[in-house]
Amino acid sequence: MFSVVIPLYNKELSIRNTIQSVLDQTCQDFEIVVVNDGSTDNSAAVVEAIEDDRIRLIHQKNQGVSAARNRGIEEARCEWVAFLDGDDLWDESHLQEISLMMQKFPDDKVFVTSFEYSDKRPMFRHPRSEPIFKVENYFKEAMKESLMWTSIVVVHKSCIDVVGGFNEKLNRGEDLDLWARLARVYQVIKSEKVTAVYNTSDGASLSKGKSDYERSILSKINLRGLKSFERKYFKKMIVNRLKLDIKTLDFKEIFILLVKHNIEIFIR
């Protein structure tokens, strides 16, 4: 039923636990597609040592996480694709919760649960009347709440045919870019149940690189022509990045953002 796509690059210390969190699922109807994106450590050997016929290890030259995820989607044999990164963990009930969501909303194709950070930082969540619900306005609610994150997203494979996969030209915000494209076309179904842990121990996902604007989602944003909350959503993303650039004295990116978005970011 589920193809679990795991991109792998130099995660030899975490990948065994990540895969084990899939093998421990109460719902056992899955395959695991691990795409080794040119790892230079022993990550691949760790995967190969795990004895389970449902695991397929695919090798490719290093092309980045987006290319690895897209390769996993292409190789997926099941109609439902579940994403999981190589250092994150699922609760044993994750796929079972997704299955329950599918039963409640059988006509929908994009499902997400909820997650927590490994460092237990507080997270804002909108109050809900039901534990499983339709996200009525993705862009409005995503301005405050982390509605979608890679390791809690499950999509029907046909959705990728419609909106496209992860943008391989981006190395920052490539996930947010895909979620936005999905949300424009499909209804997002969400569960309040926390079924995954976002590993922040190495700080890699929280780091801010320099001079990579052209490979950031920021380079794709054009506020002109966007409507209502979608415009506010992306405007907030730009303003937050400007604040961070000011704090870190990244004058090059401050200049680029102000030149591209100058008037638009100051208009409601």
> What is residue 257's predicted lDDT score, i.e. its pLDDT?
87
pLDDT of 263 reads: 56
* pLDDT mean by block of 10 residues, the chain; 268 residues: 97 98 98 98 98 97 97 98 97 98 98 96 92 96 96 98 97 95 98 96 47 83 87 93 90 87 61
Asked whether residue 68 falls in the same domain as residue 125, the answer is: yes
243 plus 157 within the same structural domain? no
Residue bearing tokens 């309040």: 192
Question: For residue 259, what pLDDT is reported?
Answer: 85
- Domain range for residue 77? 2-205
β-pair type (89-90, 188-198)? antiparallel
Q: Are 14 and 91 found together in one domain? A: yes
d(CA 165, CA 154): 13
> Helix 251-261 to helix 228-248 angle, to the nearest 10 degrees?
150
Question: Is 123 found in the same domain as 166?
Answer: yes
Q: 155: number of CA atoms within 13 Å, CB side?
A: 29
pLDDT at 206: 36
In 3D, which of 113, 116, 135 has the Cα closest to residue 126? 135
Q: Which two tokens stand for residue 121?
A: 């930082």
What pLDDT shows up at residue 265? 57
237 & 138 share domain: no
Nearest to 82 by CA among 137, 31, 116, 46: 31
Spatial contact of 166 and 182, defined as CB atoms under 8 Å apart: no
Residue 125's nearest CA partner among 142, 150, 105, 101 is 142
How many distinct structural domains can be found in the chain? Answer: 2
3-state secondary structure of 216: strand
**Given 159, 183, 205, which residue is the final one in a domain?**
205
Please tell me the predicted confidence (pLDDT) of residue 207. 39
Same domain, 141 and 54: yes
Q: Are residues 48 and 97 in the same domain?
A: yes
Sign of the torsion formed by the C-alpha atoms of 258, 260, 262 and 265: negative
pTM: 0.92
Residue 227: its pLDDT value, please? 82
115 shares its domain with 22 = yes
| pLDDT computed for residue 209 by the predictor | 43
Residues 6+ apart with CB under 8 A from 36: 8, 9, 43, 44, 47, 57, 58, 59, 60
Residue 116 shares a structural domain with residue 243 = no
Mapping DSSP onto H, E and C, the string for 45-60 reads: HHHHCCCCCCEEEEEE
Give me the CATH number covering residue 178: 3.90.550.10
